[in-house]
Structure 1
Amino acid sequence: MDEVLLLGKTQEGTEFSIPKKALRKHVVTLGASGSGKTVFCKCIIEESVRNSIPAIIIDPQGDIASLAIPGKETEIESKGTSKNLLEDYKQKAEVRIFTPASKKGLGLSVNPLKIPSNLTDEEERIRTIDLMSSSVVRLINYDMETEAGKASNAFLFKLLQAGMKRGTPITDLETLANYVDKPDLLININEADSMLNKKERDRLSKNIRFLTTGVEQLLFSIGSSVNMDLFLTPVTPGKVPVNIIYLNTLNKDEHKQFFVTMIGNEIYNWMLSHPKEDVQLIFYIDEVSTYLPPHPRNPPAKEILKLLFKQARKYGVSCMMSTQNPSDIDYKAMSQAATWALGRMMTEQDKSKIDALLISMNSGSTDRRSVVDALSTLKPGEFIIVSPDYYDKPQRVKTRWLVTEHRTLEEETLRDYIDDKIETVLDKKGTQKTTQGSNQVNPQNTQNLPIGSNITPTPSNYGRTPEYLCATCRTRLEYIYQYRRWYCRGCNKYL
C-alpha cells in the first residue's frame, strides 16, 4: 500500500491525500458545529488503520464509537468511495470500545499510584510523583489553587517520594491513607506537622478512603487496567487496534479529567522507552477544549496534553485534536501542529485567530487572505487543508464518504458492536494484571535473587530456568532492581 491517507477530493475533482508521515507533526481540525470536523477526523482514523497505525481515541460524546460499525457497500459506492476501502478496513480494524468505571462496554480502570516500569530519570520521577499526588488531591475535590489543596498535594508528594526512596513505593489508595494516618513511618513527624496538622491529616486520610468505597471505587476496579500493552496488542494477530475510550459512562467532569490525564500519562511514559522514527500511534481527542483550554484555565489534563503535543513527534506518536473555535484551546499546544483542517467559521473573532495562525505558519499573504475569506463559504464536509510541508498552497477539499457508520452510540447498545472474540479476551484480561517493561527478571539472572516464604520457584521443566511465582496468587513475579525487591502485579504489592 502507498503510505498515504486518502481524505477526499479537491474542487477540481482529483483525489486528495496526505502522506502518512504528515501525521507525525500532529493534526488540528477546526470548524463550527455541523461543519463535519468529526467525520474528517474519523476519515483519518480509517486511513490510519489501512496504513497499520493503531489509535487511542478519547470519545466524549459517543460520536467516534461508530467506527465499530462498517458501512453498507452500496451506499458507500453510491457516494463515490471505493468498496475496496471498506474491505481493507474490515480486514484490518480491531475496534474496541472501552467504558471507564463500567461494563457497558469493555471495562477500563486506572491506578493513580501506578509506577512506570522505566522510571529511572530523576526529572521524570519527580513529574510522576507530582502527577500521582495531584491526581489524588483532585479526586477528593480539593481545589489545587487553595492553601489546603497545595498543602495536601505537597504532603502526599512527600510521602510518595519517601516511599520510593526507601524501596517501599505506595501503590494503592488504602496504603496511602494508612501512611497519611501514620506519616512518621516514612517521614519526620515534625516535617509532617509543618505541612498538615493532625486534624487536617485525619480529614485527608478519610477522604482518600472514600475513594475505595461506593461508586468511586469503580474508577479503580472495573475491567482492565489502563496500559499500553492492552491498547497495542491485537486480539487477532495482524489486526490494527482502534481503542475508543467512551467517556459517557463517567458522570463527573473531574473523573473524565482524571481518565484523560492517566491515559495521556500512560502514552507519555510508554513513548519515552519506545521511540520510533515512523508514526507508530495516533492519539486523538474529539472536542478537546474541555481538556486543553487557553490560559488562565488549567484543568488537570492540560499539563500532560501540552507535554504530548510538544514532545510526542520525537517518538513517533501523532496527536490529533478537534474543536469548534480556535480560541477554545491553548495556543502553544495548537501551534505544534503542522497540518490544519479548517472548516466553516462565521465569526470575525475566529477568522482573526486563523489569520494569526497562518502568519505563524508562513503562509503567503495572498493565500492567507483567500483562506480567511473562504471560511464562511464552506459547506458541511468541506475543509481548507493547510499543510506547508507537503502542499505549497492551501487545498480546498470535500471529505470522502466514510466506510463506517457515522452516528452516536448510546452506552446501552455498545456491547452489540464489540466483536465476540474481543469481548471474551479483553473481559478476561480485566481480571488479570499484565507484565511489561524493563523491570522484568531475566530468567538467566534469577538464581541468586533473594527468595522469601511468599515466593515459590516453579519446578524446572526440560532444563529451563525456574520462574518465581507469588505463593498467594501464583502470578509470575518481577524483581525490581531499583528497589531490590520482588513485585507481584496480581496482588499489586511488593513482597
Structure 2
Amino acid sequence: MSNTEAFKSQLIEGQTYKKDFIIMGTGVLEGEPIQNAQIKVPLKTMNRHGLIAGATGTGKTKTLQVIAEQLSLKGVPSVLMDLKGDLSGLAQPGELNDFIQNRSDVIGVDYNPMGLPVELMSISDEKGVKLKATVSEFGPVLISQILDLNDTQQGIIALIFRYCDTKHLPLVDLKDLKRVLQFITNEGKELIKKEYGQVSSSSVNTIMRKIIELEQQGAERFFGERSFDVQDFVRQEDGKGVISVIRLTDIQSTPKLFSTFMLSLLSEIYETFPEQGDSDQPKLCLFIDEAHLVFSTASKDLLEKIEAIVKLIRSKGVGVYFCTQTPTDVPESILGQLGLKVQHALRAFTAKDRRAIKKTAENYPISDFYDTAEVLTQMGIGEALVTALNEKGIPTPLAHTLIRAPISRMDILSKSEIDALVNQSVLVPKYNEDIDKESAFEMLEQKLQEVEKAQEKSTLPKPNIPKPRTRVKEEASLFEELSKNTMVRQLGRTIFRELTRGILGSFTGRRR
C-alpha cells in the first residue's frame, strides 16, 4: 500500500459518520492535495468547543467564515465576535473565479455562491441591533473585572449588590451605581457601617473614578434597557441558521469592555438555556475572535469561572470557538476541553518563535505522515492542520488540510448594504429604543427628598413634640419604606423577588 493510500485509508476509518457532518476541505500529503480525502467534522460534536489559531494573514478569519456558513446551511445559528470588521460579508454571495473553482474541484465540493441570513449587532455606536444589559444583570464579579478593582474594592462592589438586592433597588445603568456609591459614603454611611462594617471612602472614590473612565470609553451606551434576550440568537430563516455578527471594531482600544461583555453573554446563555444533553447537532455556536483579549487580563478566580462555564455549557448544546494567533493564548485548562482544533501556519523568525512552534506541535496528535513542527512553518494561506472528534468522541487523525473557500463574500459590506441589512431587521425595532425606567438613582433621590421634607416639618414648634429619631433610624426607615411600598419591577428579564446569582455573579431566575 502506498503512502497516499495509507493516508486515505486512515482518514476513512477515522471519519466514517452515521450522522450529519460538515466538510472542512481535503487532505494534503507531501505538499499535494489528495482527491477523495475530505476532512469532515460531525455536527454531533460541534458543541465540544474548538480553536482556530495561526499567524496573521494565514486565513483564520476565512476558516471561521467557512465553519459559520456550513453550520448555517445545516440550520445551526451562530454568534460571531467581529473585532476587525471583516465578517459582515457573510450576508452577500461570494464571487466564483478560476482559483476558487480549482480548489473546489480538488476538494470535491460544489461551489454555490450565496449570502447567509445575518443579523448585525453592536454594543457601541456601530449600526445594528443594540445589545444592552443592566448593571444588576452583569453582577459584582464582572463589574469588578471591567473596572479592574483590587480585593478591597471588589468587596465594596459585592456589598453594594447585596444591599441593592435586599432593598429592591434596581441597578440599571452606571448612573445608578454611582448614586449608590455616593449614598454609602454620605447619607447612608452610618446605616451601612451598622449592617456591613466600615467602608473606606478613599476606595469608593477610586471606584467612582474608574466608573467615569469607563463612561468615557462609551460603556454608558451598553448598560441600560432593554436587556437583550439570548433566545433571539437562536433563530432560523428559510431553514438556515441566523448568523449574529457582533460588530466591535470601535472598541478595540477598550478590551475590558469586550471581554467582560463576552463573559456576561456566556454566563447568561449558560444560566438560561435548558439542558440538551447529546443531540445530533448543537443549538448554538459562539466564535470569539482575538480570544487573547479575554484571558490576558483575567484574574485567577475569573479564569476558574470561565473554565467552569466552558466545561458545563456544552450540555446546553452550545459550542464555543476561540480564534487567536497561538494556542498558548488560551489557558491549558481550557485548551484541554476543546474538540476541534484548526491550526494555520506559524512563523519561525526568532528562537522564541521556534520554541513556541515546538510547544504548539505537542498539543496535536502524533501523526505517521507528518512532522507537525515542520508542517506548521510550511503551510500556505488557506491551509491548516485539523483534528476533530468523531461521533464516538475519539480524536480524528491529524490532517494537513486544504480549507474550502467561503461561499459568501470574502470582504466587508458597503455602507449602503449595511443600512439595507439593518433596515430589514426584525430585532432593531425591539432593542434600539432608549428606555429610562425608575431605578436606584431616582428612587434614592425621591426618598431622600421625602426625608428632608419630613425633617423640615419636624423643626416647626408643635405641642408634645416626640423625641427626634436618630439619623440611623431615619435611614433605616427610608429603606424599610422602599422595601414595603415600592412595586418590584421587572428589569429586562430579571425578577428580583425570585433572585439567585449564577456562576459569574450575574442574575438568574425564572423567566417570564
TM-score, normalization by structure 1? 0.71
**Structure 1: how far apart are the matches of 2:293 and 2:319?**
20
Is the 1:151–1:196 contact (alpha carbons within 8 Å) kept by the matching residues of 2? Answer: no
Does the 8 Å contact 2:120/2:127 carry over to 1?
Answer: no
Deviation at 1:480, TM superposition (A): 5.6
Q: Which amino acid aligns with 2:34?
A: E
Of the three residues 248, 265, 268, the one matched with 2:267 is 265
Report the alpha carbon displacement of residue 57 of structure 1 after superposing the two structures with TM.
1.2
C-alpha displacement at 1:335, in angstroms? Answer: 1.8
Q: 1:101 aligns with which of 94, 111, 124?
A: 124
Change (3 A) 1:417 1:401: farther
Q: 1:302 to 1:252 in 2, by over 3 A?
A: same
Mapping for residues 19-30 of structure 1, pairs under 5 Å: 19-30=42-53
Match of 2:70, SS? helix
Q: Is the aligned partner of 1:397 residue 2:395?
A: no
> Is 1:56–1:284's contact at 8 Å kept on the other side of the alignment?
yes
Tell me which residue corresponds to 1:447: none
Q: Residue 291 of structure 1: SS of its match in structure 2?
A: helix
Q: Deviations over 1:88-120 (max 9, x none)?
A: x64xx32012122215333333323227xxxxx
Cα distance in 1 for residues equivalent to 2:226 and 2:102: 41
Whole-Å separation in 2 of the counterparts to 1:286 and 1:67? 16
Cα contact 2:288–2:322 (8 A) shared by 1: yes
State which of 357, 362, 367 in structure 2 corresponds to 1:351. 357
CA contact under 8 A between 2:255 and 2:293: conserved in structure 1? no
Question: Given the superposition, is the C-alpha separation of residues 453 and 54 from structure 1 closer, same or farther in structure 2, using an over 3 Å criterion?
Answer: same
Say whether 1:336 aligns with 2:337.
yes
SS in 2 for 1:396: strand
**Match of residue 131 from structure 1:** 142
Q: 1:188 to 1:355 in 2, by over 3 A?
A: same
1:13 aligns with 2:35: yes
**Corresponding residue for residue 453 of structure 2:** none
- Residues 56 and 187 (structure 1), Cα distance of their counterparts in 2 relative to 1, 3 Å cut: farther
C-alpha separation in 2, matches of 1:377 and 1:101: 40
Residue in 1 that maps onto 2:12: none
Return the alpha-carbon distance in structure 1 between the equivalents of residues 199 and 486 of structure 2: 37
| Equivalent residue letter for 1:98 | M
> Is residue 49 from structure 1 mapped to residue 65 from structure 2 by the alignment?
no
Distance in 1 (CA, whole Å) between partners of 2:62 and 2:302 is 25
Query: In percent, how many aligned pairs have the same letter?
Result: 17
Shift of 1:262: 2.6
| 1:150-207 CA distance string (max 9 Å, x none) | 222211201212332445454443333333223349963246563323x543564576
Shift, 1:19, TM fit: 0.8
Alignment of 1:25-36 (within 5 A): 25-36=48-59
Q: SS at 1:56's partner residue?
A: strand
**Which residue pairs with 1:290 in the alignment?**
293
Shift of 1:277: 2.7
1:80 corresponds in structure 2 to 104
Q: Is the 8 A contact 2:193 2:199 kept in 1?
A: no
Q: Is the 8 A contact 1:94 1:240 kept in 2?
A: yes
1:385–1:395 CA contact under 8 A, matched in 2: yes
What is the one-letter code of the residue matched to 1:352?
Answer: K
Partner of 2:418: 415
The Cα shift of 1:302 comes to 5.2
Give 1:151's aligned amino acid: T
Q: Which protein is bigger by CA-based radius of gyration?
A: 2
SS at 2:400's partner residue?
A: strand
Q: The residue matched to 2:223 in structure 1 has which SS?
A: helix
CA 1:393 to 1:207, structure 2 compared with 1: closer, same or farther past 3 Å?
closer
- The CA distance in 2 between the partners of 1:26 and 1:43, in whole Å, is 16
Q: Secondary structure at the match of 1:230?
A: helix
**Cα distance change, pair 419–430 in 1 and its aligned pair in 2 (3 A):** closer
Deviation at 1:356, TM superposition (A): 2.5
- Residue 252 of structure 1: how far off its partner (Å): 2.5
Aligned equivalents of 2:261 and 2:493: distance in 1? 28
Task: Decide which moves more: 32-41 or 413-422.
Answer: 413-422
Following the alignment from structure 1 to structure 2, what is the Cα–Cα distance between the partners of residues 60 and 479?
A: 33
3-state SS of 2:66 partner: helix
> 1:341·1:384 contact (CA, 8 Å) conserved in 2?
yes
Match of residue 254, structure 1, among 229, 252, 256: 256
Match of 2:192 in 1: 188
Q: How does 1:210-289 map to 2 (within 5 A)?
A: 215-220=218-223, 225-233=227-235, 236=237, 238-250=239-251, 251-271=253-273, 273-278=274-279, 279-289=282-292
C-alpha change, 1:214 and 1:395, in structure 2 (3 Å) is: closer
Q: What secondary structure sits across from 1:155 in the alignment?
A: helix
| Conservation of the 8 A alpha-carbon contact between 1:97 and 1:414 | no
Pick closer, same or farther for the CA change 1:42–1:103 going to 2, 3 Å: closer
Report the aligned-residue RMSD.
3.9
CA distance 1:16–1:292, shift in 2 (3 Å): same
User: What corresponds to 1:381 in structure 2?
Assistant: 382
Cα 1:381/1:477, change in 2 over 3 Å: closer
- Cα–Cα, structure 1 residues 316 and 215, in superposed 2: closer, same or farther, change >3 Å? closer
Q: Does the alignment pair 1:325 with 2:326?
A: yes
Displacement of 1:400: 0.8
* 1:50-81 C-alpha deviation (Å, 9 max, x unpaired): 11111111111112222122213567656527
Q: Which moved more, 1:45-54 or 1:384-393?
A: 384-393
Cα distance in 2 for partners of 1:152, 1:59 equals 32
Which secondary structure does the structure 2 equivalent of 1:377 belong to? coil
* CA contact 2:58–2:345 (8 Å) conserved in 1: yes
Aligned positions, number? 412
Are the equivalent residues in 2 in contact too, given 1:97–1:246 (CA < 8 A)?
yes
Partners in 2 of 1:249 and 1:276 — Cα distance? 38
Give the aligned partner of residue 351 of structure 2.
none
Where structure 2 has 5 or more consecutive residues not aligned to the other structure, the ranges are: 1-17, 28-32, 349-353, 436-483, 500-512
Measure the CA separation in 2 of the matches of 1:112 and 1:22. Answer: 35
C-alpha distance 181-283 of structure 1, shift in aligned 2 (>3 A): same
CA offset digits 1:6-62 (Å, max 9, x no partner): 111223212332111221211212222222122112111111101111111111111
Whether 1:482 aligns to 2:498 is: yes
Q: Which letter maps to 1:9? A: T
AA aligned to 2:130 is: G
Per-residue CA deviations over 1:353-373 (Å, capped at 9, x if unaligned) read 123313xxxx34745x62233
CA distance in 1, matches of 2:494, 2:293: 39
Cα separation, partners in 2 of 1:27 and 1:171, compared to 1, 3 Å: same
| Structure 2: distance between partners of 1:27 and 1:477 | 31
Residue in 2 aligned with 1:492?
Answer: none
8 Å contact 1:7–1:44 — kept in the other structure?
yes
Residue type of the partner of 1:95?
V
